[in-house]
Amino acid sequence: MAADLEVVNLFIIAGGTLAIPILAFVASFLLWPSALIKVYYWYWRRTLGLQVRYADCGGYRFCYACRGKPGMRPSILMLHGFSAHKDTWLSVVKYLPKHLHIVCVDMPGHEGTTRTNTEDYSIQGQVKRIHQFVETIRLNRKPFHVVGTSMGGNVAGVYAACYPKEICSMTLICPDGIRHPCETKFDNHLQDLEHSNYTLNIPLIPTTPEEMEDMFRLCSHVRFKIPQQILQGLVDVRQPHNTFYEEVFMEIVGEPSRYALQEHLHLITAPLQVIWGKKDQVVDVSGAAVIVEVLPGCRVDLLENCGHSVVMERPCRTAKLILEFIILQQDTRGGTKKSY
């Protein structure tokens, strides 16, 4: 009988011990989903071996995540899109070799990077700030590979045009800043916004779980089933920054940022790779042909059944394409095959 009681007590203690983290998880999921999302990113960074660091320069602070150290192979600088953050790249970094030096920076004003005046949020302003970051962490001690998606692709392209000696090769993923021949669903939204003098809600700045779901439908061809609580958590995380996002949005859709990449294409000398989702409803895939017309030697990879959020929809494929391109460029320069 005593032994049975001890077993019962053991089960009660074990059950109580397990119940605490389970209840904490359930409570966070139901009551504080935004906190759960932050913990999720923290855990994922830790699992992938990424460290969050800060770089200070003249009172301006950059926040970035990095893995690996500079070596014989080029470092990789990754620039995220509008209203996103450095953790956007986690799904892609997962499939890249751990020994490569990877730097994912929060774009100007985003997440942990300093917010200042609106001049920093134009494409040209962001390019200057990213160059400041590159110099601060001495990433440009030797040419590096830059990857940019959407707004980050616009910035990456203009950066390569303005600082050609610093870039050994580059990858643009569904880049903004191109006057694409075919209109998209987002172009129609943008026209409605302009006609309303920007009084309508901006589709890329959701304020409710329903609008968040609409944004995912706009940006992604793949339909992700996201629980209502997670959608609410994503809204809660973004809500305090919506005024800032509106300022950035107005800068990047205005002159001279709107077609900055196209206007700088002829100045790009580094080997260029373009990755685009064929079902992109934000920046039409026809923009790839515009780039090829100016830079006929660039490599273009068009992904079937994929929308604007290539990084989220096809992370493994994206990582593989980027790595193949870097290896190809290194082999071409060195004349020998390097192990990655």
280 catalytically annotated: yes
Sheet holding 51-57, edge to edge: 51-57, 60-67, 102-105, 76-79, 144-149, 167-173, 272-277, 299-303
For 178: left if phi > 0, alpha if psi spans -120 to 50, otherwise beta; the answer is beta
- Active-site choice (122, 150, 257, 309): 150
CA nearest to 101, candidates 156, 36, 49: 49
- Active-site choice (106, 120, 176, 280): 280
The two tokens of residue 150 are 């959407």
- Active-site choice (120, 301, 308, 309): 308
CB of 241 closer than 8 Å to CB of 111: no
Q: Are strands 51-57 and 60-67 parallel, antiparallel or unpaired?
A: antiparallel
What type of residue is 92? V
Q: Are strands 51-57 and 167-173 parallel, antiparallel or unpaired?
A: unpaired
CB atoms under 10 Å from CB of 65, counted, come to 24
308 catalytically annotated: yes
Cite the beta strand spans of the chain per DSSP E.
51-57, 60-67, 76-79, 102-105, 144-149, 167-173, 272-277, 299-303
For 310: left if phi > 0, alpha if psi spans -120 to 50, otherwise beta; the answer is alpha
- Helix/strand/coil for 63: strand
Catalytic positions, written as ranges = 150, 280, 308
